[in-house]
Chains A and B, each alone.
Chain A
Amino acid sequence: MENPYEQVHQSILSRIVNNVERLNESVITLNQELQHINARNKNLQIMGQMCENYHKSVQFNMSATNNKREPL
């Protein structure tokens, strides 16, 4: 005997497949954007480290040459 819900089941399944495919595409796009953001943030992190190291060197040289003064 033929299943009476066969047609409905089939169409729902095809809708599910379509939706999962679209979801997958969206998640791939999200991943790419996150990767871009993280690359930019990494550059910022490196810049921060460089600036901080420079700052520490300046502080050390100032105190070594006795040029360091009290803050305003």
Chain B
Amino acid sequence: MNDTKARQYAHLSQQLKALQANLAQTSRQMETMSRQCNEHLVGQLGKVHAAWFIGGNRCFEEEMLGKR
């Protein structure tokens, strides 16, 4: 095996090691993401805010128009 080939194989092995580390990190990030997405964050926030808006509307309607 000549010198160039040995150098290329060494480079390739280094690159593959880095790739493996990167893919492990990717899989960790994906796990975090799926855990976060399973909590229905946006739906939860939407429901809470809708409840606040409706409650506030009722409250201030009575404040402004007097108790009916």
Contact = CB atoms under 8 A, between A and B. Distances in A.
A38 B36 contact: yes
Contact of B22 (A24, A41, A44, A52): A24
Taking chain B's interface residues, is the majority helix, strand, or loop, or is none over half, making it mixed? helix
Q: How large is the interface on B (under 10, 10 to 19, 20 to 34, 35 or more residues)?
A: 20 to 34
Nearest to A26: B22
Main DSSP-derived SS at the A contact region: helix
A17 B44 contact: no
Given A24-B19, A31-B29, A44-B41, 13 more contacts: A17-B8, A17-B12, A17-B15, A20-B19, A21-B15, A24-B22, A27-B19, A30-B26, A34-B30, A41-B41, A45-B41, A48-B41, A55-B48
